[in-house]
C-alpha cells in the first residue's frame, strides 16, 4: 500500500523560542536546494503520496517557500502548513491559494500566555494574520496544543476563535519513550476537557482516535498501532529519509535524488518497516503527526474513530464557513 503523507521538514531554523521545543537550538546544517526538493516531490508523487505537510522549524523562513508550494500544487498534492505567524503578514500574498490546510499555532487565549509560551511577543501578529488570511480568502485554523497545564483554559481559546471567526483544532500534547515532553503528557483530565469543550463550542474540533489512544496508554510495542514507515515519509531539511520517524529517527539515509528507489527497494527501509511501532522508543508513544496517518492503515476502532473525526470536521468546517 502507498504511503499517505509526507512530513517534509523544510528547515530546522525557527524565529520563536518555545519552551516546549528545542528545534530552534539545533544546528540547521546545509538545507536542500529548491531543485532537490522539487525532485523529491516528484518521487513522492510516484510513490502515491496524497498529502504533504511542509513543516519545520518555521517553514516561512525558506525564501523559496512559495516556489515549493507551487510545485506541490502543480503535482496535485494536498498541502498544509503550520506557522507561528511571525512572517505570515510578509509572506501571505506569495503563498495565497497554495495551502489547503493553513494552521496558526496558538498556545493560549491571551497575549501573556501565548507570548510566554512562544518566547517572543507574537500574539498581536497572530491576530493580524488571521484577519489578513480571511481578507485573502484563506480559512486559517487555530492549532492549539492542549497540555496538562492549560487544559482548563480551552473554553477561553474556543471563545477567542469565535471572536476571530475561525475554527480551533485541539491537539493533545504527545508522549513518547522515557516521558518525552513529560510535563505536557496527556492525562484523563485533559481528554475530558477536550471532549467537554468540543460539545459546547461549534468551532472546536479534535481527533477522536487520538483521545482513544491516550485512554489506551499510547502505542503498545507488543501490539503496535504505529505504522510510521508505511503511512508517512519523513524528509529532513538536509535531504535525508528519516527512519522510522522524525521524533525518534534512528537513522537518516541520504536521499541524493533516489527517494523512490530508497523507499521501495532498500533493505534499510524494509528493516524499519518490519520494526515500526516495536522499537523500545515506541512504547507509549502518541506522536500524532505519525500516529494519525497510521490510523488509516488497518481496520480497527482507531480507523473508525479517525474516519468519523475527519468526516465530522469536514462537515463542521463547511457549516462554520457558511455562517462566517
Cα 186 from Cα 174, distance rounded (Å): 7
pLDDT in tens, 268-289: 999 999 999 999 989 989 999 9
**pLDDT in the model for residue 250:** 80
The answer to whether residue 251 scores a pLDDT higher than 80 is yes
**pLDDT in the model for residue 22:** 66
Proportion of the chain above pLDDT 90, given as a percent: 71
Please report where in the chains the cell 480551552 appears, as a residue.
154
The answer to whether residue 293 scores a pLDDT higher than 80 is yes
Q: What pLDDT band is residue 237 in, cutting at 50, 70 and 90?
A: very high
Q: What pLDDT band is residue 249 in, cutting at 50, 70 and 90?
A: confident
**pLDDT in the model for residue 300:** 96
The answer to whether residue 153 scores a pLDDT higher than 50 is yes
pLDDT in tens, 17-69: 776 676 666 666 789 999 999 999 999 999 999 999 999 889 999 999 999 99
**pLDDT in the model for residue 137:** 94
The answer to whether residue 162 scores a pLDDT higher than 90 is yes
More confident residue, 321 or 99: 99
**pLDDT in the model for residue 94:** 97
Q: What pLDDT band is residue 182 in, cutting at 50, 70 and 90?
A: very low
Domains recognised in the chain with CATH numbers: 5-323 (3.20.20.70)
Amino acid at each position: 500500500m502507498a504511503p499517505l503523507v509526507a512530513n517534509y521538514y523544510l528547515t530546522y531554523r525557527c524565529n520563536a523560542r518555545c519552551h516546549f521545543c528545542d528545534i530552534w537550538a539545533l544546528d540547521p546544517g546545509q538545507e536542500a536546494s529548491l531543485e532537490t526538493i522539487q525532485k523529491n516531490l516528484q518521487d513522492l508523487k510516484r510513490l502515491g503520496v496524497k498529502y504533504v505537510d511542509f513543516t519545520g522549524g518555521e517553514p516561512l523562513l525558506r525564501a523559496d517557500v512559495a516556489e515549493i508550494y507551487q510545485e506541490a500544487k502543480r503535482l496535485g498534492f494536498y498541502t498544509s502548513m503550520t506557522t507561528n505567524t511571525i512572517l505570515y503578514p510578509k509572506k501571505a500574498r506569495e503563498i495565497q491559494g497554495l495551502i489547503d490546510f493553513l494552521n496558526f499555532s496558538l498556545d493560549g487565549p491571551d497575549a501573556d500566555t501565548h507570548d510566554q509560551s512562544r518566547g517572543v511577543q507574537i500574539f498581536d501578529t497572530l491576530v493580524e494574520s488571521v484577519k489578513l488570511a480571511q481578507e485573502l480568502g484563506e480559512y486559517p485554523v487555530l492549532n492549539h496544543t492542549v497540555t496538562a497545564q492549560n487544559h482548563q483554559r480551552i473554553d477561553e481559546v474556543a471563545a477567542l476563535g469565535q471572536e476571530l471567526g475561525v475554527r480551533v483544532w485541539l491537539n493533545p500534547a504527545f508522549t513518547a519513550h522515557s516521558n518525552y515532553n513529560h510535563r505536557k503528557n496527556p492525562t484523563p483530565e485533559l481528554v475530558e476537557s477536550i471532549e467537554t469543550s468540543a460539545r459546547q463550542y461549534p468551532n472546536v474540533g479534535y481527533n477522536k482516535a487520538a483521545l482513544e489512544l491516550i485512554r489506551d496508554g499510547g502505542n503498545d510495542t507488543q501490539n503496535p498501532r504505529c505504522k510510521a514507515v508505511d503511512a508517512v515519509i519523513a524528509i529532513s531539511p538536509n535531504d535525508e529519509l528519516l527512519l522510522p520517524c522524525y521524533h525518534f529517527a534512528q537513522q537518516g539515509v541520504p536521499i541524493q535524488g533516489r527517494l523512490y528507489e530508497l523507499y521501495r527497494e532498500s533493505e534499510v527501509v524494509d528493516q524499519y518497516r518490519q520494526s515500526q511501532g516495536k522499537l523500545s522508543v515506541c512504547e507509549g508513544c502518541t506522536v500524532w503527526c505519525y500516529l494519525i496517518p497510521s490510523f488509516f492503515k488497518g481496520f480497527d476502532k482507531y480507523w473508525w474513530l479517525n474516519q468519523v473525526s475527519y468526516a465530522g470536521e469536514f462537515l463542521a468546517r463547511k457549516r462554520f464557513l457558511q455562517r462566517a
